[in-house]
């Protein structure tokens, strides 16, 4: 059975709420410890309570509505850059509310200091993200349905408590899945099962491998490796601001985006030079490559549908993080608007970075080398079966690295076969990883939003391509290498794909600032491993996730353009986000620009990744390109 867009929205409405809390202090807002708040500081627990109370007291607030998120409404960039330490700050809350009974979505903005509503608007034709209370309610709704119970009994399952319900946002073809061949469509507004699809039983796989040490067994452990900092850590934290080696930055834990970096700068000659105003994971999409009816719809927008920040898990000391890590809590708002604390949501630690620089002088037999230190700040989110750690790594030489670590359990598909050679020639959409279990091929796409302010907000975007110099008088010995630098003058030209033959990179340049050598100061985005999307350009998933059409985008700064697939990707019609924003083709020369980098991973499963995946690392670097006049790490001591 298939449904029109309107029917899917009516039957399967899911809550998306992008709330931003309000401030209640009558004077200068402060934290619980009495510290004056910075304009970018996340909401305190008390602010979350006030935000929910102000909104819920409105006469137009629909009874029974849910808050899917409450977060700070970040002030404009000019307000942040003009803020003086200790000065009063104006704090506002932005909220997205789902009216479950009416299947309506509202956005609200509240002035917290004044305790009054600034705006209230119904947003037509959108669905908010899936909420925690929906995930909690879903198993009982499904298990109470007689049709589902009968499908389980056909498979010899009578103890329903042993069945796990795996809830998915519906995309454009609503489905909820657990046992292979059984899919249930649920209206989460009415808490009723709409449809049960049973495409036939396949053998249940043997019991899965448990992952505790008693179940797995253990090898002879390696001898202890100790990380010691007898004088303590080298970084300092004041509120949300971190000082480490010449780096200065702020961080927040956002319920939707996860860990966000703000106002990143580097100390040079006694002043803090700005590099990045804001860096975040803007969106993720994971399309699966099995085209069977019960699999073709599977694609998860892990940021915009599920709120990757709120799905963060508490970091376990000495396993998820090394023993010298500082672990910090985060405050979020629940569906009821009440605050809760996630313990150990963010980790920050120093680690050995290998050799920083070296030269051995053979004539004098003198060696000068330096050992590198790195600062890592990270969080870990568990989204259904997958676990993702996002690490931002600060290097002493001015390099900032993003590293995504993928682990967890591959999404399994039940099959009749127990051996790989039993599969027919047409079975090409997955790999057998255990008896009766196939892991379908799939891809992961991450969109990073990088609001670079290289020595200030007015920048330009250049592309660098390298090739062999053509034979001729200027290349008589056929060894010439040419790097061509092209300015991407507008948003249309700045839609780019990677090129290995051209060693393509992109550079954000300040056309009004120069180093001592006359180079315009810049930072270069250097891609790591990447992939092209294999789902068709006209497929519904690809149209909803238009950001994956290019590896690189650049746009003019807009405060409300934060999400690469749009604010409301849940059941979206397609075309929102980056494709819509660049349609006006704005000028990018000497402007406040934002670059967006799409990182793709193509996952062809292996038996060695079952029952749990060894970590895979993917990422990119932002490296200084003429930002300094010489190696900025020369002064690192032995």
Active-site entry in 41, 99, 198, 302: 302
Size of the chain in residues: 638
Residue among 212, 221, 272 at smallest CA distance from 243: 272
C-alpha to C-alpha distance for 415 and 439, rounded to whole angstroms: 10
Contact 274, 523 (CB under 8 A): no
Consecutive H or E run containing 10? helix 5-11
Residues 6+ apart with CB under 8 A from 416: 202, 203, 436
Q: SS3 for 583? A: helix
Helices (H) and strands (E) in the chain, counts: 8, 29
Phi, psi of 593 (to 5 degrees): -110, 155
* Extended beta strands in 25-140, E state: 66-72, 92-99, 104-111, 116-123
Asked whether the CA dihedral 624, 547, 555, 246 is positive or negative, the reply is: negative
Greatest CA separation found in the chain? 85
Q: Which residues, listed in sequence order, are joined to residue 182 by a DSSP beta bridge?
A: 198
Is 212 known to be catalytic?
no
Given 3, 349, 386, 597, the catalytic residue:
386
Q: Which of 125, 127, 208, 129 is nearest to 168 (CA)?
A: 129
Dihedral over Cα of 537, 489, 500, 447: its sign: negative
* Cα–Cα nearest to 447, from 226, 206, 281, 239: 281
302 is catalytic: yes
Count CB neighbours of 8 within 10 A.
Answer: 20
Distance (Å, rounded) from C-alpha 519 to C-alpha 625? 9
Check: CB of residue 245 under 8 Å from CB of residue 375: yes
Whole-number Å distance between alpha carbons of 420 and 417: 7
Instruction: Give the sign of the dihedral formed by CA 109, CA 110, CA 111, CA 116.
Output: positive
Active site residues: 302, 386
């Amino acid at each position: 059975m298939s449904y029109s867009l309107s029917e899917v929205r009516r039957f399967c409405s899911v809550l998306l709420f992008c709330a931003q809390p309000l401030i209640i202090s009558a004077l200068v807002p402060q934290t619980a410890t009495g510290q004056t708040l910075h304009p970018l500081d996340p909401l305190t627990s008390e602010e979350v309570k006030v935000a929910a109370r102000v909104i819920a007291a409105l006469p137009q607030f629909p009874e029974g509505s849910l808050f899917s998120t409450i977060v700070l409404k970040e002030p404009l960039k000019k307000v942040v850059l003009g803020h003086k330490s200790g000065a009063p700050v104006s704090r506002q809350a932005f909220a997205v509310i789902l009216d479950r009974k009416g299947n309506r979505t509202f956005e609200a903005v509240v002035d917290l200091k004044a305790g009054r509503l600034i705006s209230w608007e119904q947003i037509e034709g959108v669905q908010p993200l899936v909420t925690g209370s929906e995930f909690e309610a879903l198993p009982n709704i499904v298990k109470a349905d007689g049709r589902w119970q009968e499908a389980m009994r056909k498979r010899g399952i009578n103890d329903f408590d042993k069945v796990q319900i795996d809830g998915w946002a519906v995309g454009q073809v609503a489905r909820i899945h657990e046992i292979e061949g059984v899919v249930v469509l649920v209206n989460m507004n009415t808490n009723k099962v709409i449809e049960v699809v049973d495409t036939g039983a396949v053998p249940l796989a043997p019991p899965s491998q448990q992952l505790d040490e008693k179940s797995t067994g253990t090898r002879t452990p390696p001898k202890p490796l100790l990380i010691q900092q007898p004088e303590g850590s080298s970084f300092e934290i004041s509120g949300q601001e971190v000082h480490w080696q010449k780096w200065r930055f702020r961080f927040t834990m956002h319920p939707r985006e996860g860990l966000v970096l703000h106002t990143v700068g580097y100390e040079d000659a006694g002043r803090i030079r700005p590099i990045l105003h804001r860096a975040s994971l803007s969106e993720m999409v994971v399309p699966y490559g099995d085209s069977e009816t019960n699999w073709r719809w599977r694609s998860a927008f892990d940021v915009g549908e599920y709120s990757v920040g709120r799905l963060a898990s508490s970091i376990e000391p000495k396993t998820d993080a090394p023993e010298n890590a500082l672990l910090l809590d985060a405050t979020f708002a629940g569906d009821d608007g009440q605050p809760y604390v996630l313990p150990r949501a963010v980790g920050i630690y120093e680690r050995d970075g290998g050799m920083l620089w070296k030269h051995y002088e053979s004539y004098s037999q003198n060696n000068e080398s330096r050992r590198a230190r790195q600062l890592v700040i990270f969080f870990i989110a568990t989204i259904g079966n997958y676990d993702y750690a996002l690490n931002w790594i600060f290097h002493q030489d001015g390099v900032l690295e993003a590293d995504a670590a993928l682990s967890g359990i591959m999404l399994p598909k039940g099959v009749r076969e127990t051996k790989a050679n039993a599969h027919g020639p047409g079975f090409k959409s997955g790999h057998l990883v255990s008896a009766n279990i196939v892991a379908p091929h799939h891809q992961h796409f991450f969109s990073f939003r990088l609001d670079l302010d290289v020595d200030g907000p007015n920048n330009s975007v250049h592309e660098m391509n390298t090739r062999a110099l053509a034979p001729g008088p200027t290349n008589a010995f056929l060894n010439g290498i040419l790097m061509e630098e092209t300015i991407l003058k507008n948003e249309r030209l700045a839609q780019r794909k990677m090129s290995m033959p051209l060693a393509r990179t992109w550079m954000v340049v300040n056309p009004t600032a120069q180093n001592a050598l006359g180079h315009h100061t810049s930072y270069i985005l250097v891609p790591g491993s990447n992939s092209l999307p294999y789902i068709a350009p006209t497929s519904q998933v690809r149209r909803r996730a238009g950001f994956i059409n290019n590896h690189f985008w650049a746009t003019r700064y807009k405060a409300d353009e934060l999400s690469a697939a749009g604010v409301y990707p849940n059941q979206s019609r397609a075309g929102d986000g980056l494709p819509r924003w660049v349609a006006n083709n704005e000028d990018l020369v000497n402007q406040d620009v934002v670059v967006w980098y799409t990182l793709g991973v193509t996952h062809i499963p292996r038996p060695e990744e079952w029952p749990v995946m060894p970590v895979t690392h993917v990422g990119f670097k932002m490296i200084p390109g003429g930002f300094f006049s010489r190696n900025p790490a020369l002064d690192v001591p032995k």
